[in-house]
Structure 1
Amino acid sequence: RAEKEMTDAQRQYMLRQQMKAIQTELGEGDGESQELRNRIAEAKLPEHVATVANREVDRLDRMTPASPEYQMIRTYLDWLLDVPWDKATEDRLDPIEARRVLDEDHYDLDKVKERIVEYLAVRKLKGDLKGPILCFVGPPGVGKTSLGQSIARAMNRKFVRISLGGVRDEAEIRGHRRTYIGSMPGRLVQALKGAASSNPVFMLDEIDKMSAGIQGDPAAAMLEVLDPAQNHTFRDHYLEIPIDLSKVLFIATANQLGTIHPALLDRMELISLTGYTEDDKLHIAKMYLIPRQRDEHGLEPEHIEITDEAVRRVITEYTREAGVRTLERQIGTIARKIAAKVATNAAHTARVDAADVPTYLGPVRFRGETAFRTSRAGVATGLAWTETGGDVLFIEAVLMPGGNGQLTLTGQLGSVMQESARAALSHVRQQARSLHLSPAFLSKQDLHVHVPAGAIPKDGPSAGVTMATAIVSAARGVPVNPDVAMTGEITLSGLVLPVGGIREKALAARRYGIKTMIVPALNEPDLEELPPDVRKDMTFVPVRTLEEALAVSLPSVVDPATVAEAGIGGTSAAAARPAHD
């Protein structure tokens, strides 16, 4: 049997040698090898890439097609030739035209548009500018991903979206080494091949959702990709040839920054995309959402008309979000119900007014509850920032007789928030006399502080002022002003420290119908970034101490005039004024 197998192998070898001799005599040479050499010559590869490619073809010549390594080298050469080493699209370097395209696709978002226009202007003047590495941070539904597509269109570049959500393997970024069976390049090389251009726009979606696994940390691999000083020689483990990524415009998106590696964060230029106001959402619905839903449901413009009042009612009573994703779904529901009627009666038309909205969307989902929730003493309205935008928290405090001064905290509070509650209580006890409380008001009572929505974890220091206000309200038996919401970290000495997310919190307060917002005095510069209609509709009170905050939220407990005379920290609560004055 062994002799027979040897005879078969020798026979196959002889036949292949004879076939090669015949091809050489006919001037055809080795068909596959010659085809690869022709492709290498036509591709006009960089010298270091062409050298590697020709060396691999020489290895291929010395192998039989039946060899396992033959197909591996063949696949490697295909990838090598498919990477667009010197192919690039020509940038549209007209800043005015680029801005027109961006305005056509998206409403507002001026910061992002200005940054792209600035890049194109500098590129027009300098010529060889490296692509910027941007990171859009904002809640879901504000248009981060679609903005990337719009930027690519404005610059006349190819667009590739790479989803990084749930990526746990470093090889997803850098690729697998060729020693493994079935190995492939990483997502970046695959994306370059798909774009067929060396200067596309890469959208690194959900970069904050990457996590380390047993196969390595993909965030560490991204450090080289997103470093302008290194990414011109990026090495993929599969190709093992330096690839120039410096011409690529990288745009990362994230909902929050806390989960992104600090070194990775340092390499990106952060651009915050905050939530939209009611007026913004109305414009977006009229300009983009209604026409898109009309087209998707096969309706003509004369079939459906949704009035501005109806859109406003949908925004306020059927959605509570920073973006417009839920708003588009609700508009789609209205369009779907109208499409069902048009399908049975082609002449049917519908004009949707505010009073008609419940007919299409059912009972109201969100009602104004601030006045109801704060009608009892011991309840204060706080403002929080989450990865889905700003939100309102109703913090409750109650004193229970027959205790011994114990503090109970519920509502799934994180360690930082628990420490804020203890600091707030300590300051209230220390200032008991000035607040007209008995210094021993807790000696025979227990205090319970609760933050509703107990199923949702909460953390952060920005609820300190709210907790202190709720405690004072419970101790004095006086309800907090229902039109007032507040944010700020509190110290043991009663100072109010700055916090983040002022814009998102202000938009959330406005959505809930709150008229006055207490903010730390050191956050006053942040008020300049608020939309003009928000600054016009609301009054913002910068405070430096808890007493100044209490003078606004509990004026019957702390006299504003007394706080103003004390002049603690300079800015007093008595100087409250609309931010637009």
Structure 2
Amino acid sequence: MAERFDKELESTPPADDHDYPVMPLRNTVLFPQQVIPIYIGREKSLKLIEDLGPGDKHIVVVAQEDGSIEDPKPEDLYAYGTLGVVLKVFDMPDNSKSAIVQGVERVKLLSFGDAEPYYTAVVERIKDNPVSDDLELDALAKNLRDTFTELIQVAPNLTEEHSGMLSNIQKPSRLADRAVSLLTVPNQEKQEVLEELEVKKRVEKTITLLTREIQRIKLGEEIQTEVHDEISKTQREYYLREQMKAIKRELGEDEETVEIKELEDRIKAAGLPEEAEKVAMKELDRLTRIPTQSPEYSVSRTYIEWLADLPWSKSSDDQINVKKAEKILDEDHYGLEKVKERILEYLAVRNLKQERNPDGVVRGPILCFSGPPGVGKTSLGKSIARAIGREFVRMSLGGVRDEAEIRGHRRTYIGALPGRIIQSMKKAGTNNPVFMLDEIDKLGSDFRGDPSSAMLEVLDPEQNDSFSDHYLEVNFDLSKVMFITTANYQDAIPPALRDRMEILDFSGYIEDEKIKIAQRHLIPKQIEENGLTKKEVSLDKAAISELVRSYTRESGVRNLEREIANVLRKVARDMVEKTIKKIRITKAKVLDYLGAPRFYSELAERTTKPGVVTGLAWTAAGGDILFIESSKMKGKGNLTLTGQLGDVMKESATAALTYVRSHTDILGIPEDFHEKTDVHVHVPAGAIPKDGPSAGVSMFTSIVSLLTDKPVKDKLAMTGEITLRGNVLPIGGVKEKVTAAHRSGIKHIILPDHNKKDLEEIPEHIKKDLDFYFAKEIMDVIDVALPGLNGKKKKPAPRKTNSKLKKVS
């Protein structure tokens, strides 16, 4: 590295050495015997040149370490420089000067004088170190000349004249100086050669610099050649493409013309309505005037392709044979009679209208399947499509919050697309598919709009024949589509949207239906999925019943299917490990495979205690029985209710106690019982929230039984809502409640009189095991539950409110 000047190196100059003015150079290094022009513009340098006398024109030329410094200090200069002679000075037009300077010999700067008007320095003249091996040095000098000759071949700024100049120099030291002075290398590298006093090392450094310069120039040329070749190739390809376009244009086969022709053919084949075809042709005409390189070209082409790809006039033929459609529906799903009946009615109406008026339009029904999870709402939609011979598309609305998801974005937005309704229609490929809108109760809304409001037009039979998508901006007919929506909870659906749909309730499956579904669908499916065959494994009815009762508690059959799969996986393992050929799964096997039961059903046990009544409840997982327990104690007539009861259920208990207090004479209860007695009504399973009005009858009977100290009839369950006038009002979920009572060992059931019609839904084998009693008034319930209590003060009554029906079939 170049040595920097140290001010403290020598504070006192030797007496025999001369004091020379110092000329700093920004961007070059002067070597001995080299003649260079120097541009002089700095104030101190101009003063230095002006002060040179006619006799002694020697100056010390030294390079700056940093050429950007305008007024360098001694520490900004290298420690070695060159003693030079100013040969000639020229005046320049801008008051600056130019001087021709020749280097004489190397010097080392020992100390500096005053800074004004310019620096002077005491220097030591430096001689080269003696050479020990002339032969090696001569070989190096020859190598240097050869390398320089090679450099001349590639360097654009060097000529053969420079090579001739070097051939006339005999001394290796001067040869090295001259070669380096001709190179365009950084000052630092030149300074290192200037400071090298060993001639052999100086020559070696020069050869290294020359070799590196040759490599740099060659590498630059290679890069330039590659870039030039790449440009030439690109230009050639461009010219060829342009020529190809011109030839195709002459033949009428250019890509743009072919593409426009294809789009035009697609538009004509799509069977667009008159308005839509007019818009498409106008856009196609606009497309012909847009350059293919323009971004607008692809936007316009995509729009035309969407218009051409939609099924404007393509319909699938419906299944004409209603019996065949019914058979397909029954194959795929057990039960769900109301839904199947509605689909078959639609097919029958369509067939009649087509026979009598082939051009008449049959609007697709807009149905809403409402019910708990796992009862087959979505799968029934696929089955309906198969039964009537239509395409099926499904769109999940769960979590959709942006109105543009339904109606699409306007084409002014980058990357705009139609909404999911139009996208699904394109996917279906026909204009009359079965379109399932899943989870419509889970639509959201936020600052981007309300999707449920956009659905109003889709699901309105009076409007959806001209559905407008923001992207298409032409009306699309959705009136032939059979829309089926699904929901778990109707309350979450906006009233305006709910009003547009025909709601079909899926109440959930009772145990008998689940057993049938398992036998027909779930078990065969899981046997196949677990690598078994029907010959190798079978489940008896008791085993399936045990799975339903003890290991699942749901309205649908998803968990039942999981438990069946769990059992069959264990069967598969047994067959592999124990090499069993055939396994029959019984109730005991189920317990062995799945362990202790997870759920248990309340069994109706005989109780002799007054105040205990068996009620009937509906849950999302089906029906169940519950016990109403009442107890009395000394007090002031307070009523305590426990068991995590809802507001409606609490009000039923209050109404029941009020009726008891207002009819103490008929019931044979002391009139002042409430002044000395507190009543506590409890509904067990306190961790489970309970609500609803249907326990009113049970609570009334429990309180009367407690206060009269008479137990309720054995194996009797009841349900019904009561009023303060003593009327028994109808309730829902009769099918589930009666099935749960039968499963729990109940033999007698009291129902509201208005629920007689609901017995039609109950399977015959359940009805024949039960006695049904229908009550119009609360006293009819007392006649059955507490016989003899309601006979003393009641007239022989021509009104026979107790319509007792035994073993209804």
TM-score band by shorter chain is: 0.7 to 0.9
In the superposition, the TM-score normalised over structure 2's length comes to: 0.63
Q: CA deviation at 1:129?
A: 1.8
* Cα gap change, 1:527 to 1:74, in 2 (>3 Å): same
SS of aligned partner of 2:584: strand
The aligned counterpart of 1:579 is 808
Match of residue 357 from structure 1: 590
User: Aligned partners of 1:375, 1:308: CA distance in 2, in Å?
Assistant: 35
- CA-to-aligned-CA distance 1:409-466 (integer Å, 9 cap, x gap): 4444443333323222211221233323333323344444444455554433222222
Aligned to 1:355, the other structure's residue is in SS state helix
Q: How does 1:431-450 map to 2 (within 5 A)?
A: 431-450=663-682
Alignment pair present for 1:77 and 2:304? yes
Decide whether the 8 Å contact of 1:399 with 1:448 is kept in 2: yes
The structural deviation recorded for 1:514 is: 2.7
Q: Relative to structure 2, which stretch is displaced further, 193-202 or 213-222?
A: 213-222
For the residue of structure 2 that corresponds to 1:116, the secondary structure is: helix
CA displacement at 1:148 relative to structure 2: 1.7
SS of alignment partner, residue 664 of structure 2? coil
Aligned equivalent of 1:486, options 718, 722, 732 = 718
Q: Which amino acid aligns with 2:349?
A: V
State the 1:250 CA deviation.
Answer: 1.8
For 2:479, the equivalent position in structure 1 comes to 246
Render the CA deviation track for 1:341-394: whole Å, top value 9, x for unaligned: 233455532111233221122123343424359776444333333444434343
What amino acid sits opposite 2:333 in the alignment? H
Match of residue 109, structure 1, among 327, 336, 347: 336
1:268 maps to amino acid:
M
Alignment match, 2:263: 36
Say if 1:563 and 1:461 are closer, same or farther in 2 by CA, change over 3 A: farther
Other-structure match for 1:337: 570
CA shift in 2, pair 1:100/1:528, >3 Å: closer
* 1:191-230 correspondence runs (5 A): 191-210=424-443, 213-230=446-463
Change over 3 Å in CA distance of 1:536–1:141 after alignment to 2: farther
Q: Which runs of 5+ in 1 are unaligned?
A: 1-13
Please state whether the residue corresponding to 2:665 is helix, strand or coil.
Answer: coil
Alpha-carbon displacement from aligned partner over 1:199-237 (angstroms, at most 9, x marks no partner) = 111122333444555544444333322222222112223
Letter in 2 for 1:572: N
Paired position in structure 2 for 1:10: none
The corresponding residue for 2:314 is 87
Quick one: distance in 2 between partners of 1:130 and 1:276? 31
- In 2, the alpha carbon distance for the partners of 1:76 and 1:367 equals 61
Q: What amino acid is aligned across from residue 134 of structure 1 in structure 2?
A: L
Residues in 1 aligned to 2:632 and 2:312: alpha-carbon distance in whole angstroms = 71
CA contact (8 A) 2:461 2:479 kept: yes
Within 2, Cα distance between the matches of 1:238 and 1:531?
A: 53
Change (3 A) 1:63 1:391: farther
What is the aligned counterpart of 2:785 among 528, 535, 553? 553
Q: Is the CA contact (8 Å cut-off) linking 1:373 and 1:394 kept in structure 2?
A: no
Q: 1:268 aligns with which of 484, 501, 504?
A: 501
Query: What corresponds to 1:136 in structure 2?
Result: 369
Separation in 1 of the partners of 2:747 and 2:733? 18
Letter in 1 for 2:531: G
Post-superposition offset of 1:187: 2.7
- 1:313 aligns to 2:546 (yes or no): yes
Does residue 498 in structure 1 map to residue 498 in structure 2? no
For 2:800, the equivalent position in structure 1 comes to: 570
Q: 527-536 or 404-413, which moves further after superposition?
A: 404-413
Q: Distance in 1 between matches of 2:348 and 2:730?
A: 37
Alpha-carbon offset, residue 475 of structure 1? 3.5
Deviation for aligned residue 1:331? 1.6
Q: 1:492 to 1:275 in 2, by over 3 A?
A: same
Match of 1:541 in 2: 773
> Displacement of 1:334 after TM fit?
1.3
Q: Aligned to 1:290, which of 518, 523, 546?
A: 523
Letter in 1 for 2:274: E
1:99 equivalent in alignment to 2:329 = no
5 Å matches for 1:150-189? 150-189=383-422
2: distance between equivalents of 1:181 and 1:477?
80
Is the CA contact 2:666–2:792 (under 8 Å) kept in the aligned structure 1?
no
Matched, 1:524 2:756: yes
3-state secondary structure, aligned to 2:272: coil
2:350 aligns with one of 98, 107, 123: 123
Q: Contact 1:465 / 1:488 at 8 angstroms: preserved in 2? A: yes
1:485-531 C-alpha deviation (Å, 9 max, x unpaired): 22222111111112223223323333333332221112222223322
Q: What corresponds to 2:466 in structure 1?
A: 233
Counterpart residue identity of residue 767, structure 2: R
1:390–1:78 Cα change, 3 Å: farther
**What is the aligned partner in structure 2 of residue 148 from structure 1?**
381
User: Cα offset for 1:186?
Assistant: 2.8
Q: Which shifted more, 420-429 or 70-79? A: 70-79
Question: What letter corresponds to residue 570 of structure 1 in structure 2?
Answer: K
Distance 1:422 1:247, change over 3 A: same
- What secondary structure sits across from 1:548 in the alignment? helix
- Rg bigger for which structure? 2
Percent identity over paired residues: 54
Secondary structure class of the residue paired with 2:614: strand
| CA-CA distance at 1:544 after TM superposition | 1.2
Which whole-Å CA distance do the structure 1 matches of 2:718 and 2:690 have between them? Answer: 17
The aligned amino acid for 2:486 is: T
Check whether the contact 1:374–1:381 (CA below 8 A) recurs between aligned residues: no
- Secondary structure at the counterpart of residue 305 of structure 1: strand
Change (3 A) 1:562 1:324: farther
Q: Calculate the TM-score normalised by the size of structure 1.
A: 0.86
Secondary structure of the 2:674 match is: coil
- Name the structure 2 match of 1:56: 283
Distance in structure 2 (CA, Å) of the matches to 1:378 and 1:49:
75
Q: C-alpha displacement at 1:78, in angstroms?
A: 3.7
Change (3 A) 1:126 1:406: same
Q: 1:431 to 1:129 in 2, by over 3 A?
A: same
Indicate conservation of the 8 Å contact 2:397/2:440, yes or no: yes
Specify the code of the residue in structure 1 equivalent to 2:632: L
1:483–1:516 CA contact under 8 A, matched in 2: yes
Give CA-to-partner distance per residue, 1:131-160, whole Å, 9 cap, x none.
222233344333222222111111111112
CA RMSD of aligned residues (A): 3.4
CA distance in 2, matches of 1:114, 1:212: 35
CA distance, structure 2, for counterparts of residue 456 and residue 179 of structure 1: 55
| Amino acid in structure 2 at the alignment position of 1:199 | N
**Contact 1:383/1:391 (CA < 8 Å) preserved in 2?**
yes
Paired residue for 2:649? 417
Aligned counterparts of 2:402 and 2:664: Cα–Cα separation in 1: 56
Letter of the structure 1 residue corresponding to residue 366 of structure 2: I
Contact 1:255 1:387 in 2 (8 A): no
Cα deviation 1:288-336 (Å, max 9, x = unaligned): 2211110010102222121223223333333344433333222211111
Offset of residue 270 of structure 1: 3.5
Relative distance call for 1:345 and 1:444 in structure 2 (3 A) is: same
1:168 to partner: Cα distance: 4.2
Q: 1:379 to 1:346 in 2, by over 3 A?
A: same
User: How many residues align structurally?
Assistant: 564
Unaligned runs of 5+ in 2: 1-237, 355-360
